[in-house]
């Protein structure tokens, strides 16, 4: 594994979220591709291919924005040739220019991770760094609602309970439950739950006509 503490921090967080690390180089359409690290989503995010690019100390040309862009463009073409449904996300760890991000964005989703301390003198500092990292890569992580509110009220209600109470009583409670349960998996699961509910409602209306 790369020696960069920030790269290790990102990699550990992806592993914790259920991503599986790929051996590198990996082969797509008979072409080998090498990056600092590569991960594949779990069953719930099976179409995610996540590449970590160490822009500070990385090998494989990872410090050269033009070479990285060319390599990811080539990977995209190889995925197209193999009719793969994988969606590429590049996590740029370290300093990177705005123009480099724009160039890469033409071929994949781009996330940047920089200016996060890896020297955690205590648990408070560690949790702060973790929140900063989660904010940068949140699109790859499951959506979670804390079981207890940061500010406890007189009834000691959890965040989920408060959300339920804020929803108008006239709304379908089964629908709310499905959406909240899907939020534990991720954004795509929430979207699929909403789509399924809408389709079910439309089918019901058509059958009632």
Rounded mean pLDDT, 149-161: 51
CB distance 54 to 11 below 8 Å: no
For residue 149, tell me if it sits in a domain: no
pLDDT tens-digit map of 107-139: 999 999 998 888 877 888 888 999 999 999 999
| pLDDT value, residue 75 | 95
* 32 plus 64 within the same structural domain: yes
Question: What are the strands, taking DSSP E only, across 99-186?
Answer: 109-113
CB distance 127 to 116 below 8 Å: no
pLDDT tens-digit map of 36-67: 999 999 877 889 999 999 988 777 667 788 88
Find the angle CA(41)-CA(43)-CA(49) to the nearest 5 degrees: 20
Report residue 9 as tokens: 């921090």
Report residue 61 as tokens: 């040309």
For residue 145, tell me if it sits in a domain: no
* 19 plus 72 within the same structural domain: yes
Instruction: List the domain range (segments joined by +) for residue 13.
Output: 5-140
Rounded mean pLDDT, 177-200: 73
Final residue of a domain: which of 86, 112, 140? 140
Domain total for the chain? 2
């Amino acid at each position: 594994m790369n020696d960069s503490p920030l790269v290790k921090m990102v990699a550990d967080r992806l592993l914790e979220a259920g991503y599986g690390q790929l051996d590198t180089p990996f082969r797509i359409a008979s072409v080998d591709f090498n990056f600092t690290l590569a991960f594949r989503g779990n069953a719930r995010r099976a179409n995610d291919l996540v590449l970590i690019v160490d822009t500070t100390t990385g090998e494989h040309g990872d410090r050269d924005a033009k070479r990285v862009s060319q390599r990811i463009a080539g990977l995209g073409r190889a995925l197209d040739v193999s009719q793969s449904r994988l969606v590429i996300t590049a996590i740029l760890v370290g300093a990177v220019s705005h123009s480099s991000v724009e160039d890469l964005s033409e071929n994949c989703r781009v996330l940047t991770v920089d200016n996060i301390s890896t020297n955690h003198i205590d648990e408070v500092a560690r949790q702060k760094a973790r929140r900063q990292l989660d904010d940068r890569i949140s699109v790859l992580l499951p959506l979670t609602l804390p079981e207890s509110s940061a500010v406890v009220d007189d009834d000691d209600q959890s965040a989920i309970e408060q959300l339920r109470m804020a929803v108008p009583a006239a709304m379908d409670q089964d629908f709310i439950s499905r959406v909240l349960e899907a939020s534990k998996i991720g954004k795509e699961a929430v979207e699929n739950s909403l789509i399924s509910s809408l389709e079910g409602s439309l089918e019901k209306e058509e059958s009632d006509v």
